[in-house]
């Protein structure tokens, strides 16, 4: 990385929003594991490694697995957000490895929201 | 009643009719069971359909082969055939929208705008969400004075607790002539049960860095410190990464973004001392001395870190700054109440369904936070009080639940905004015990410089312990009130100045509980061990032996299926028997 100028911010933003919003590139889905202290204490690392394991096991390379901070509802951690290309994000709560596997097969790979583990769909009100 | 609408006819209902009549005849039921043909039943998709009266049993998707079994089972033996009956599809509960969920729907994110959305360890993701555009604006389009004016006009007040107008604070440092000048981010969050600042840093560290950079431009500071407690390892790690990445991009260091600003940030680890909420204590600790406050003036704006002009703001305050610059003072000041603008982040904990981090506009009521967002009290218990402002705050009772939250309103009822800890208490909470707990915390956290604080809190704590132990005296409440006033009057900093609040507010709203402890030697909430006894209700006890098996003291005796008894001389009042009893037969009084 080198020092940037104000106009470089726009370039970074453009490049990043495309991948983050799954508009460009090969990714068809993004899974965000919420890893604040609360999430990690509740077992988010296990969720993360089981997701990474699933990617490897099924040889999948078009699903982004990423982390983020606390989603706010600490009492329902571990939480993750699944976002398929062109669809609203879905938040899952009270996860364990088994639920994660089910969500991965049903929702991430087959597009079926696992309603029994889902908390809500969409995003929060910002600003 | 066989449906002979077009739909069912084409599905072969007449064949069903024939088979049915035949089968009925076979069992000589033709006189008892009449076959009636009806018009369209409306449920064509499930046809052929039949309704058996008078029970209104609805059969669907019938075939000729089903009929012998149906007649035998239903008409002969009187057992409706389950598998032919209509079962409504398992109700598909649609996943609600975030905005329809109480917990999220009432929140409005400014300081937490990127929570759960970005990878906090990737500066590019922050930039993708519009990060550092406010810095560009501040560096290219705004003069320092304009920035300060915007912050002033926004009405932003210190989110660490005291609520001093941020813009005014900046103005004082900007006006100081001496250089270098310092900026400090106070991330030493010390209130028990509070985790707003930790969470902001963990989910969005760059929002704080950007706020500080804008602050540097406004005040002329060249050096920044984030004073973060050692107990926050994840937040610290993420902050370190964020600072490194910002440096690599040239967002920290010399000639930031090629616009001539020189500013860098380093991290100072604190040992997590509550007294560091006091600015002058924090400065002392940051310089490597023991965290004792000093007399003000001079204020940090004149003489702060290394005796240089210094501006200290809390994590949440800094995180608000980029949004104010980007969206304007007017936008920010349109949110909130007359005196308190914008939003406030609360960590909602205690006896509440949804514990977590909540950002709401100022002016939201306590009821909305506890019940709509928090989801109410678990286990069908009653709400008793909510404690705001941490150890320096107070307990607010149920009849003030509709209080809109802002700095002034909370002060009016004897509490404070504080940094945003919000502890919900239910009917099983003893308010005298709560006051005792907070005083114990403050007794340990007092730095010891002022006698009134050091000794006074200790004496107050001693009295509270005595009351909880059942040795309260009639005059105790008055002595507590008198001591409280003396400590408030004679303490240098806010720790002592607010330390008596938990006692005063509980006396104000729950005086009857104090009186029960002192006069009746009883703890109405069943918490204070010296004042309670566990007994077994002879009527309700089934003699299941669960309590006697679980009692760690073997204090419960009784044969199976006979009433059990607790030996009071052995009982340590741990309450395990009460927790395990399935018949609510263990009583506490």
pLDDT of B56 over the 90 cut: no
Mean pLDDT of chain B: 93
What is the arithmetic mean of pLDDT over B539-558? 93
Residues of A in contact with B92 (CB under 8 A): 115
pLDDT of B295 over the 80 cut: yes
pTM: 0.84
Three-state SS for B247? helix
Percent of chain B with pLDDT over 70: 98
Best of B95, B251, B373 to disrupt the A interface (most A CBs within 10 Å) is: B95
CB contact under 8 A, A1 and B248: yes
Q: CB-based contact (8 Å) between B562 and chain A?
A: no
pLDDT of B477 over the 70 cut: yes
pLDDT of B46 over the 80 cut: no
Question: What is the model's pLDDT at position B3?
Answer: 76
Q: CB-based contact (8 Å) between A82 and chain B?
A: no
Q: CB-based contact (8 Å) between B379 and chain A?
A: no
Residues of B in contact with A70 (CB under 8 A): 115-116, 199, 202-203, 356-357
Q: List pLDDT tens digits, range B91-110.
A: 556 788 988 888 999 999 99
Q: Rounded to a whole number, what is the distance in Å from the CA of B230 to chain A's nearest CA? A: 14
CB contact under 8 A, A37 and B125: no
Three-state SS for B26? helix
Beta bridge pairs of residue B261: B256
Question: What is the model's pLDDT at position A21?
Answer: 77
The model's confidence at residue B156, banded by pLDDT at 50, 70 and 90, is very high
pLDDT: is B63 or A119 the higher one?
Answer: A119
CA-to-CA separations, B314 to B287, B358, B576, in angstroms, rounded: 18, 17, 43
pLDDT: is B56 or B513 the higher one?
Answer: B513
CA-to-CA separations, B184 to B222, B280, B377, B513, B564, in angstroms, rounded: 11, 12, 39, 43, 63
Q: CB-based contact (8 Å) between A123 and chain B?
A: yes
How far apart are alpha carbons B151 and B211 in whole angstroms? 11
CB contact under 8 A, B99 and A122: yes
How far apart are alpha carbons B443 and B462 in whole angstroms? 10
Instruction: Determine which helix (DSSP H) or strand (DSSP E) holds B240, and give its type and residue range.
Output: helix B233-248
CB contact under 8 A, B95 and A115: yes
Q: How many CB atoms lie within 10 A of CB B345?
A: 28
Q: Rounded to a whole number, what is the distance in Å from the CA of A110 to chain B's nearest CA? A: 17
What is the arithmetic mean of pLDDT over B359-363? 97
Q: Rounded to a whole number, what is the distance in Å from the CA of A53 to chain B's nearest CA? A: 20
Question: What CATH number does the domain containing A110 carry?
Answer: 3.40.30.10
Domain that holds residue A45: 26-121
pLDDT of B476 over the 60 cut: yes
Q: Would A8 be classed as within a structural domain?
A: no
What is the arithmetic mean of pLDDT over B506-525? 96
Question: What is the model's pLDDT at position B51?
Answer: 80
What is the arithmetic mean of pLDDT over B191-220? 96
Q: CB-based contact (8 Å) between B260 and chain A?
A: no
Question: What is the model's pLDDT at position B91?
Answer: 54
pLDDT of B90 over the 60 cut: no
What is the arithmetic mean of pLDDT over B397-422? 94
DSSP A107: I
B279 contacts B493 by C-beta, under 8 angstroms = no
Buried b (16+ CB within 10 A) or exposed e, B346-376: bbbbbbbbbbbbbbbbbbbbbbbbbbbbbbb
Q: Rounded to a whole number, what is the distance in Å from the CA of A59 to chain B's nearest CA? A: 24
Residues of A in contact with B132 (CB under 8 A): 9
pLDDT of B129 over the 60 cut: yes
Name the token pair of B521: 């030697």
The model's confidence at residue B89, banded by pLDDT at 50, 70 and 90, is low
How far apart are alpha carbons B476 and B514 in whole angstroms? 9
Question: What is the model's pLDDT at position B88?
Answer: 59
How far apart are alpha carbons B22 and B162 in whole angstroms? 89
Q: Rounded to a whole number, what is the distance in Å from the CA of A30 to chain B's nearest CA? A: 11
The model's confidence at residue B37, banded by pLDDT at 50, 70 and 90, is confident
pLDDT of B541 over the 60 cut: yes
Mean pLDDT of chain A: 92
CB contact under 8 A, A70 and B199: yes
The model's confidence at residue B65, banded by pLDDT at 50, 70 and 90, is confident
What is the arithmetic mean of pLDDT over A12-37? 87
Q: Rounded to a whole number, what is the distance in Å from the CA of B292 to chain A's nearest CA? A: 30
Question: What is the model's pLDDT at position B74?
Answer: 82
Pairing state of beta strands B565-566 and B556-557?
antiparallel
Question: What is the model's pLDDT at position B63?
Answer: 85
CB contact under 8 A, A69 and B204: yes
User: Strand order of the sheet with strand B223-229?
Assistant: B253-256, B261-270, B223-229, B182-187, B310-314
Q: Would A7 be classed as within a structural domain?
A: no
Residues of A in contact with B334 (CB under 8 A): none
CB contact under 8 A, A121 and B110: no
pLDDT of B272 over the 80 cut: no
DSSP per position, B418-440? TTSEEEEEETT--HHHHHHHHHH
Beta-strand (E) ranges in B212-282? 223-229, 253-256, 261-270
CB contact under 8 A, B195 and A37: yes
What is the arithmetic mean of pLDDT over B434-456? 96
Closest chain B residue to A8, measured at CA: B257
Q: Would A21 be classed as within a structural domain?
A: no
Residues of B in contact with A69 (CB under 8 A): 115-116, 120, 199, 202-204
Count contacts between A and B (CB, < 8 Å): 154
Q: Would A2 be classed as within a structural domain?
A: no
Domains of chain B: 2-84 (3.40.30.10), 105-333 (3.40.50.11540), 343-426 (3.10.20.600), 431-519 (1.20.1440.230), 533-588 (3.30.70.20)
Question: What is the model's pLDDT at position B57?
Answer: 79
Question: How many domains are there within chain A?
Answer: 1
DSSP per position, B102-113? HHHHT--BSTTT
How far apart are alpha carbons B315 and B166 in whole angstroms? 12
Percent of chain A with pLDDT over 90: 79
How far apart are alpha carbons B419 and B317 in whole angstroms? 10
Instruction: Using CB atoms, pick whichever of B116, B195, B357 lies closest to residue A68.
Output: B116
Q: CB-based contact (8 Å) between B234 and chain A?
A: yes
Interface pTM (ipTM) of the complex?
A: 0.92
Q: Would A82 be classed as within a structural domain?
A: yes
């Amino acid at each position: 990385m080198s020092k940037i100028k104000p106009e470089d911010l726009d370039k970074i933003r453009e490049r990043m929003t495309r991948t983050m919003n799954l508009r460009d590139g090969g990714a068809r889905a993004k899974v965000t594991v919420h890893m604040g202290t609360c999430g990690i204490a509740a077992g988010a690392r296990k969720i993360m490694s089981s997701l990474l394991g699933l990617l490897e096991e099924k040889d999948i390379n078009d699903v982004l697995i990423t982390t983020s901070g606390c989603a706010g509802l600490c009492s329902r951690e571990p939480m993750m957000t699944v976002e398929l290309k062109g669809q609203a994000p879905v938040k899952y709560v009270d996860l364990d490895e088994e639920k994660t596997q089910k969500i991965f097969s049903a929702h991430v790979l087959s597009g079926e929201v696992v309603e029994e583990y889902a908390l809500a769909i969409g995003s929060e009100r910002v600003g | 009643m066989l449906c002979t609408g077009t739909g069912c006819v084409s599905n072969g209902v007449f064949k069903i009719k024939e088979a049915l009549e035949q089968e009925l005849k076979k069992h000589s039921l033709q006189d008892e069971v009449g076959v009636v043909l009806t018009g369209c039943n409306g449920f064509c998709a499930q046809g052929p359909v039949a309704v058996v009266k008078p029970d209104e049993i609805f059969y669907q998707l019938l075939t000729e082969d089903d009929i012998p079994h149906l007649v035998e089972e239903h008409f002969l033996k009187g057992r409706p055939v389950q598998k032919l009956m209509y079962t409504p599809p398992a109700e598909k509960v649609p996943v609600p929208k975030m905005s329809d969920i109480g917990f999220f729907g009432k929140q409005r994110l400014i300081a937490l705008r990127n929570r759960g959305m970005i990878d906090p360890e990737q500066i590019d993701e922050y930039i993708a969400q519009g990060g550092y555009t406010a810095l560009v604006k501040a560096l290219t389009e705004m003069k320092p004075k304009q920035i300060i004016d915007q912050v002033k006009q926004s009405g932003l007040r210190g989110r660490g607790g005291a609520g001093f107008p941020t813009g005014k604070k900046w103005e004082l440092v900007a006006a100081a002539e001496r250089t270098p000048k310092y900026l400090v981010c106070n991330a030493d969050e010390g209130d028990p049960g509070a985790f707003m600042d930790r969470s902001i840093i963990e989910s969005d560290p760059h929002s704080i860095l950007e706020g500080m950079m804008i602050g540097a431009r406004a005040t002329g500071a060249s050096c920044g410190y984030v004073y973060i407690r050692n107990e926050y390892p994840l937040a610290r790690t993420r902050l370190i990464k964020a600072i490194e990445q910002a440096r690599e991009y040239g967002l920290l260091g010399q000639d930031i973004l090629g616009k001539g600003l020189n500013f860098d940030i380093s991290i100072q680890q604190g040992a997590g001392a509550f007294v560091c909420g006091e600015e002058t204590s924090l400065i002392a600790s940051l310089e490597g001395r023991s965290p004792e406050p000093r007399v003000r003036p001079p204020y940090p704006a004149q003489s702060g870190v290394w005796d240089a002009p210094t501006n200290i703001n809390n994590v949440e305050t800094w995180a608000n700054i980029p949004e104010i610059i980007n969206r304007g003072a007017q936008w920010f000041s349109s949110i909130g109440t007359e005196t308190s603008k914008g939003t406030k982040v609360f960590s909602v904990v205690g006896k509440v369904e949804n514990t977590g981090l909540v950002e709401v506009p100022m002016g939201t009521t306590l009821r909305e936070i506890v019940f709509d967002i928090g989801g109410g009290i678990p286990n069908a218990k009653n709400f008793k009080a909510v404690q705001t402002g941490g150890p320096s705050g107070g307990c607010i009772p149920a009849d003030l639940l509709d209080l809109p939250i802002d700095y002034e309103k909370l002060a009016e009822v004897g509490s404070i905004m504080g940094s945003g800890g919000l502890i919900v208490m239910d009917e099983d909470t003893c308010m005298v015990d709560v006051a005792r707990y907070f005083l114990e915390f403050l007794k340990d956290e007092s730095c010891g410089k002022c006698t009134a604080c050091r000794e006074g809190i200790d004496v107050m704590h001693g009295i509270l312990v005595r009351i909880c132990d059942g040795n309260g005296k009639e005059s105790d409440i008055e002595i507590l009130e008198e001591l409280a006033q003396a400590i408030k009057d004679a303490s240098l900093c806010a720790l002592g100045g607010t330390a008596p609040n938990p006692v005063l507010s509980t006396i104000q709203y729950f005086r009857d509980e104090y009186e029960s402890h002192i006069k009746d030697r009883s703890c109405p909430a069943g918490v204070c061990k010296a004042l309670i006894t566990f007994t077994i209700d002879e009527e309700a006890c089934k003699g299941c032996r669960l309590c006697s098996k679980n009692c760690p003291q073997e204090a419960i005796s009784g044969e199976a299926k006979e009433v059990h008894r607790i030996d009071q001389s052995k009982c340590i009042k741990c309450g395990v028997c009460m927790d395990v009893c399935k018949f609510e037969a263990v009583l506490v009084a």
